[in-house]
Amino acid sequence: MVRILPMASSIRPSLSSFRSAAAAGPPSRFAAPFASPSHNSCRPLSLLHLGSAVPQSLSFGLKASKLLRGEGSSTAVSAAGNIAQASTAATEENVLEWVKKDKRRLLHVVYRVGDLDRTIKFYTECLGMKLLRKRDIPEERYTNAFLGYGPEDSHFVIELTYNYGVDKYDIGAGFGHFGIAVEDVTKTVDLIKAKGGKVTREPGPVKGGKTIIAFIEDPDGYKFELLERGPTPEPLCQVMLRVGDLERAINFYEKAYGMELLRTRDNAEYKYTVAMMGYGPEDKSAVIELTYNYGVSEYDKGNAYAQIAIGTDDVYKTAEAIRLSGGKITREPGPLPGINTKITACLDPDGWKTVFVDNIDFLKELE
């Protein structure tokens, strides 16, 4: 696995460079940890290379059509080329506009653990999650368990992956933590302590604010932030990832993923800035917390954290929007062999992986 090493910089961003906060308003095989991404053939994207040829259906007039065949002046050729470029730009705009209207939702977060039964026991007894389903794939030598606070068709859940014979992973420095909203942080921490869990930050108000929080670690060393909130439909509420350029990350998640910038917060004393991105308000939806640490542009990501899965109405359009936004497609859009669930996978500008899953196919799988 290629590791990305930290690289220091003396440049500290000004908070004014970030836009003001916006108004409030997959199944296990996706994460086989050491397998190369599948590049199965799929139907071609009709929007992939619009700039490389002039569509025959465009009516440029007789003169333009002659020029495209090699007749006429260079000025007219240039004009025809400008028309083609304008058509391409309009199509790109349509794709990116479609992203905003796509019915998207965070489905699950995938990561690897060294002892599946031990982790399930901790999450159910200490964090109050339910084991939703478990699946063993002996031919590929891994087992999955899905846990959460409600059914997968309406809640953000955790997908744990255990690979036969692998009992330890490197979490790295890029992954931050998961967030869980609880009604009483102190009681939750007391329960975790009684079960032998590790508390790394005792309950108390967040620095510079009033929200009561605490930090704990699960048996594999993944950090969880406990946030004191009232009743919420989505207790599994955050995934925090570190990025090297916050403005670049925000732009990508807005354009390619169709997320909203919910808010930003700069902490000059501790030299970091965060941006909350999601498909709904923080108190009702799971969000991604992007964190920029002053002067750090790259991180060692380890091999423990895998990806987030997001539902979409069209994986083909999704892949095109990702390309237009500067993302890297690691799995071309199309159906998975054997089950026909359509997916596409990509990397964001910082190398974090996301898998998009067809909404209808996902519900069929759950059945």
Q: What pLDDT does residue 363 have? A: 96
Return binding residues for Zn(2+): 159, 177, 225
- Answer yes or no: do 280 and 320 share one domain: yes
Mean pLDDT of 121-143: 95
Tell whether 279 and 141 lie within a shared domain.
yes
Give the C-alpha separation, 363 to 105, whole Å.
13
> Residue 72: which pLDDT band, with cuts at 50, 70 and 90?
very low
Both tokens of residue 91? 């199509």
Question: Distances from the Cα of 191 to the Cαs of 187, 195, 232, in angstroms?
Answer: 6, 6, 20
Q: What is the pLDDT of residues 86-120, one digit of tens each?
A: 555 657 788 889 999 999 999 999 999 999 999 99
Number of domains, the chain = 2
Which of 282, 273, 279, 284 has the alpha carbon at shortest distance from 254?
A: 279
289-338 pLDDT tens trace: 999 999 999 999 999 999 999 999 999 999 999 999 999 999 999 999 88
Distances (CA, A) of 28 to 52, 153, 186, 354: 38, 16, 34, 13
Domain end (from 67, 85, 101):
101
Residue 67: domain span? 54-101
235 in the same domain as 97: no
Kindly state whether residue 4 falls inside one of the protein's structural domains.
Answer: no
209 and 90 in a common domain: no
Same domain (yes/no): 212, 337: yes
Say whether both 199 and 125 belong to one domain. Answer: yes
CATH number reported for the structural domain that contains residue 291 in this entry: 3.10.180.10
Residue 38, pLDDT > 70, answer no
- Structural contact between residues 309 and 148, judged by C-beta atoms closer than 8 angstroms: no
- Residue 27 pLDDT more than 90? no
Q: Given the structure tokens 């940890």, which residue do they identify? A: 33
Residue 63 domain-assigned? yes
**Which of the four pLDDT bands, split at 50, 70 and 90, describes residue 32?**
very low
Task: Residue count of the chain, please give it.
Answer: 367
> Distance between CA atoms of 200 and 179, rounded to whole angstroms?
14
Residue 78 CB contacts under 8 Å (≥ 6 apart), including other chains: none
Residue 355 lies in a domain: yes
| Confidence at residue 85, expressed as pLDDT on a 0 to 100 scale | 57
Mark the binding-site residues, compressed into ranges: 159, 177, 225
- Token pair belonging to 351: 């190398």
Name beta bridge partners: 33.
none
Asked if residue 145 lies in contact with residue 131, where contact means CB atoms within 8 angstroms, the answer is: yes
Q: Please say if 225 is a catalytic residue.
A: yes
Q: Are 124 and 147 in contact (CB under 8 A)?
A: yes
Of the residues 152, 225, 234, 260, only one is catalytic, namely 225
Q: Is residue 7 part of a domain?
A: no
Closest CA to 324 of 49, 16, 68, 134: 49
Residue 26 falls inside a structural domain: yes
- Asked if residue 223 is part of any domain, the answer here is yes
10 pLDDT higher than 70: no
Residues 174 and 224 in one domain: yes
Residues 298 and 218 grouped into a single domain: yes
In a domain, 25, yes or no: yes
What mean pLDDT is predicted for residues 33-45?
34
Closest by CA position to 184, among listed 235, 228, 224? 228
Let me know whether 64 and 193 are in one domain: no
**Residue 81 confidence class, pLDDT cut points 50, 70, 90:** low
Instruction: Give residue 181's pLDDT band: very low, low, confident or very high (50, 70, 90).
Output: very high
User: Is residue 263 assigned to a domain?
Assistant: yes
Same domain (yes/no): 73, 183 = no
pLDDT in tens, 135-175: 999 999 999 999 999 999 999 999 999 999 999 999 999 99
